[in-house]
Structure 1
Amino acid sequence: MIEDQFVTFQRFNDKAAALALGDMLKQHHIEYLLEDVSANFDVTFANNEIDKDFRIKLKPSNFDNANQLLQEIAAQDLNSVDSSHYLFNFTDDELKEVFEKQDEWSALDFQLAQKLLNDRGVRIDLNEINSIRAQRIVELSKPEKSPILLVVIGYILVFLGGLLGILIGWYLRNQQKTLPNGEQIHIYSNKDRIHGERMMILGVIALLIYILVKFLSMR
């Protein structure tokens, strides 16, 4: 991955929330991009906010700084958290899971989980937090379970016409995800990516054969 490439840091379905984060990053001299990847046309004409997709993108080298900034701001907001907040009903094990899967929770949730555990006498030191984060990166870096059904369908479509098989092959070969530290990795294993590459090659061949046959039949 190119270090200067901007990758998704957070996603919002509310543009105002995305702009608020952008302003905060700008104030702390963290370079960012705001990208609107919402559907260009809403067939329901309902202007559904769920379909909105605004993405704050950062350079991977700035992920740690941005996360640290969010944690500092969340720590300042702890005293204003109402006791009706759902985390107050979490067990110790559930609060520990917030730690283990920090990327799935907000910065405020993470800070509040730490405070609640401390209040209950459950201490988690900095070394343990860093160890948990490192293990989480290892877990998230593992390839997704092999999509056997998708592979089978892809090969079938390759020989039925080519184009859809090529698209499935491209997806298996190139689909990526962004880790909490900003690193981008391929979702599927090398074995599945090889299947995707083969689908793309066979699909192009099948498509060319189809076009050639169609052309010859018109003569």
Structure 2
Amino acid sequence: MMIELEKYQSGQELDDVVRLLEINDFEYEIENIIPDFDPSFSGKRPLELFSLKVKRSDISQINELLTSEAAKFDYNQIPSDYYLIQFTNEELLDVLLKPDEWSREDYRLSQLILEKRGKVITDDMLQKMKDKRLKDLRQPEKFDIDFTWWLNIFLGSVSAGLWSIYLSWGHLTLKKTLPNGEQVYVYDASSRNNAERMLWISILITIIWVIVLAFRVI
């Protein structure tokens, strides 16, 4: 099964990663993603993204490969006007704490800049940061079913019932993929239990609405 490894805005950056994958015989797929049109851009073409997908079983090896490649950067390769140079130490540490939100190059360059400023960044520190980030990302979200949702189901129509089935099924089954390839539920057990109850009630109400409409037609 193919899952998303990363998204890229730069075709050149994507090409560099793909070249590494091909050299090391990793299978991959590329999907072009064109974001929905945003009127605020005043007719400008939406920025195209590239989603790179790989086998779930290869995630760890590929992450190690790309991390080792990024480790080849040294401080002298950082342009003097590179935006990370303007970051405070706290902001650079935040980059290290959330590597999934940054490119591997920025992750590595943040280390180098901090070290240049006299901050000691050890492998043990980096591993603890990654472990903490994974722990934070594993934390499920909660959602509450408000009164208006139930009101729409009971007083709505067949389309409202079908929409409720769709939403409750999504809340019940939705998962997210962590940087290490692990998949976890987005919502906590209590929220998923509520979604399951809502799913069955929505199905029942929808069936009732269909029967009522069928008798009206007859």
Q: TM-score range by the shorter chain?
A: 0.7 to 0.9
**Percent of paired sites with the same residue:** 28
What value does the CA root-mean-square deviation take over the aligned residues? 2.6
Q: 1:66 to 1:153 in 2, by over 3 A?
A: farther
- Secondary structure in structure 1 of the residue aligned to 2:81: coil
TM-score calculated relative to the size of structure 2: 0.83
Give, in whole Å, the separation in 2 of the partners of 1:53 and 1:103: 16
CA distance in 2 between counterparts of 1:156 and 1:13 reads 43
Q: Gaps spanning 5+ residues in structure 1: where?
A: none
Task: Tell me the secondary structure at the aligned position of residue 181 of structure 1.
Answer: coil
1:206 alignment partner in structure 2: 205
2: distance between equivalents of 1:42 and 1:49?
A: 6
Equivalents in 2 of 1:59, 1:26: separation in Å? 14
Report the Cα distance in structure 2 between the residues aligned to 1:49 and 1:16, rounded to whole angstroms. 19
Aligned length: 210
Aligned equivalent of 2:167: 168
Aligned pair in 2 of structure 1 residues 167, 13: CA closer, same or farther (>3 Å)?
A: farther
Secondary structure, aligned partner of 1:168: helix
SS of the aligned residue for 2:7 comes to strand
Deviation at 1:17, TM superposition (A): 5.1
Aligned partner of 2:132 among 128, 135, 138 = 135
Deviation for aligned residue 1:20: 4.7
Partner of 1:73: 69
Give the AA of the match of 2:99.
Answer: Q
Counterparts of 1:54 and 1:153, CA distance in 2: 39
Is 1:137–1:179's contact at 8 Å kept on the other side of the alignment? Answer: yes
Equivalent residues of 2:37, 2:46 under 8 A apart: no
**What TM-score does the superposition give when structure 1 sets the normalisation length?**
0.83
Q: Which of 137, 152, 156 pairs up with 1:157?
A: 152
Aligned partner of 2:177 in structure 1 is 178
Q: Which amino acid aligns with 1:204?
A: I
User: What corresponds to 1:8 in structure 2?
Assistant: 4
In structure 1, give the amino acid aligned to 2:63: N
Q: Aligned to 1:23, what secondary structure does the other structure show?
A: helix
Shift of 1:108: 0.8
Give the 3-state SS of the residue equivalent to 1:163 in structure 2: helix
Equivalent position of 2:115 in the other structure = 118
Q: Is the CA contact (8 Å cut-off) linking 2:28 and 2:53 kept in structure 1?
A: yes
C-alpha separation between the residues in 2 aligned to 1:58 and 1:199? 35
